[in-house]
Amino acid sequence: MKKFLILALFLVGTLTAAQAQKIGYVDTEYILEQMEEYSAAQAEVEQISKKWQEELEKMYEGIEQMDRDYQAEEVLLAEDVKKQRQEAIFQAERKAKEYKQEKFGYDGELYTVQDQKIKPLQDKVYQAIEEVAKERKLDIMFDKSGNSGMLYTNAIFDRTDEVMKKLGLAR
């Protein structure tokens, strides 16, 4: 009987705790697709990216042509001219790689353009999500599209400090 009573109290406590947290979810991908300004910003970023990609492809086509020309004439060239042509090809390749890094690299111009055009719209969506979560008294909001995981959490459920304390990393 005691075991049954303890089990019943445990189940009631668990169910009460589970009901105490309110959870919701949104599909941020769908929301963004419905925003005209997001579609326009995305199209603008794609247009810029396409232009830079075409310029990069032209650079590589030029390098390939330089290499084909060199290969065709190599046997006829003097040693010093061979070295000049090889150096010219090497410099063109280096320039193309630098251009690629400058435009498409981690902190490249494309990243900057996306940050300027798209991030403010994403921030607007996340702000609206937070407002809805607070209005509806939700504790956790998930992203159905799977891009972000949790979008909003009520700070009272954060146990980071407790775990850090257990690990001896307390602030």
* Distance of alpha carbon 23 from alpha carbon 45, whole angstroms: 35
Say if pTM beats, i.e. exceeds, 0.75: no
Chain centroid, CA 43 distance in Å: 17
pLDDT higher than 70, residue 151: yes
Q: What pLDDT sits at residue 24?
A: 87
Q: What are the start-end ranges of the H helices in 21-118?
A: 28-34, 36-73, 79-104, 109-117
